[in-house]
Structure 1
């Protein structure tokens, strides 16, 4: 008997990814969430001077992570390598997914694309997105006679 994980929401999640892709201007044949085997969990926090994004990427080499920023869209993609076939033989249940992943995030206008940095530690990818310096009003002194 083969054991498999029951996921009643998988079709709904696939539909949601397809809708997100269509609204983000994705084109058929390109890397999209629809072609990704899995989607990493992500937390996003806003601080006074930056946004922080944490993605769970256990088992993913930092060399296989690709982060790009274009037209206000931050794209995160990469791949978790499949384990050797010999090691997978005899497994009764497999829940850890392998293969490519893909996520896209629309950034607010306040995000400073030039200052984005990323680091990966203990399977957690941290992306720091600084905010642009706020434009402060300038006081103009009026001079004149009398």
Structure 2
């Protein structure tokens, strides 16, 4: 049997072009990893667009917790907590069963009146931080002072703990 020739339009194509190799983009990979970390840390965050201010959490989503420094000094410990804008009467410090607790509440109210409008904004927030105290602290002699938005707690060591301290000489080998 003989094949019947067909008249099909044939287009000549050149050989397929090799694909361009994917570029190495370390900053894109870094950005994706940072985004993933933020998504893990703040699951309620909804990213609307890259670098959008709407992609960051609102103040209500962040826990209110003061920044605290703890330093061991010769005679004991010093704890400083940043509490800006909080009235000293709204701060409570307690020592109970070897646990130091700093608790407080911030309330702020702003009112503005004009002939055409009335505006009133209120903000409330409370916090609590607790620290386990070592046995060497004399809790009865703990002192607290508050100035310029910084709470400073002084926790002296007991005389027994001070007497039992010993410096050990380091010898070169």
Q: Does the TM-score normalized on the shorter chain lie above 0.5?
A: yes
Q: Give the TM-score range, shorter chain.
A: 0.5 to 0.7
Tell me the equivalent position of 1:62. 88
What CA distance in whole angstroms lies between the structure 2 residues aligned with 1:65 and 1:101?
10
| Larger RCO (alpha carbons 8 Å, 6+ apart) | 1
Q: Where does the alignment leave 5 or more consecutive residues of structure 2 unmatched?
A: 1-36, 44-62, 114-118, 165-173
**TM-score normalised per structure 2:** 0.51
Deviation at 1:48, TM superposition (A): 1.1
**TM-score normalised per structure 1:** 0.60
What CA distance in whole angstroms lies between the structure 2 residues aligned with 1:67 and 1:10?
30
Tell me the equivalent position of 1:128. 154
**CA RMSD, Structure 1 to Structure 2 (Å):** 3.0
| CA-to-aligned-CA distance 1:34-91 (integer Å, 9 cap, x gap) | xxx510000010011110000000000110100000000000001111232549x6x9
Tell me the equivalent position of 2:136. 110
Distance 1:10 1:40, change over 3 A: farther
Figure out how many residues of one structure are paired with residues of the other and give that number.
Answer: 101
Q: Where does the alignment leave 5 or more consecutive residues of structure 1 unmatched?
A: 1-6, 12-36, 92-96, 138-146
